[in-house]
Amino acid sequence: SIPLDQPLREARDEFERIYFEYHLGRENHSMTRVSERTGLERTHLYRKLKQLGIDASRRRQSESR
């Protein structure tokens, strides 16, 4: 759970990290599918992940086999 005794920006960033990591895992790191599911254009998605410190370069599991 997200601590509610922190500034709004920190709480929002933590929520967004959890949110995008969930969708990345669910979609096996397919940026196209994560983009579609979250409603963000891929360029904005990459920018958001970088801002949140999430490694978007992880290869999809099916590609690494």
Residues 27-36, mean pLDDT to the nearest whole number: 97
Residue 64 has pLDDT above 80, yes or no: no
Q: Is the pTM of this model over 0.85?
A: no
Handedness of CA 36, 38, 41, 47 (dihedral sign): negative
Q: What is the reported pLDDT for 59?
A: 59
Residues 1-25, mean pLDDT to the nearest whole number: 96
Residue 65 has pLDDT above 70, yes or no: no
CA 23 to chain centre: 6
Structure tokens at 37: 């599911």
Nearest to 62 by CA among 35, 20, 24, 30: 30
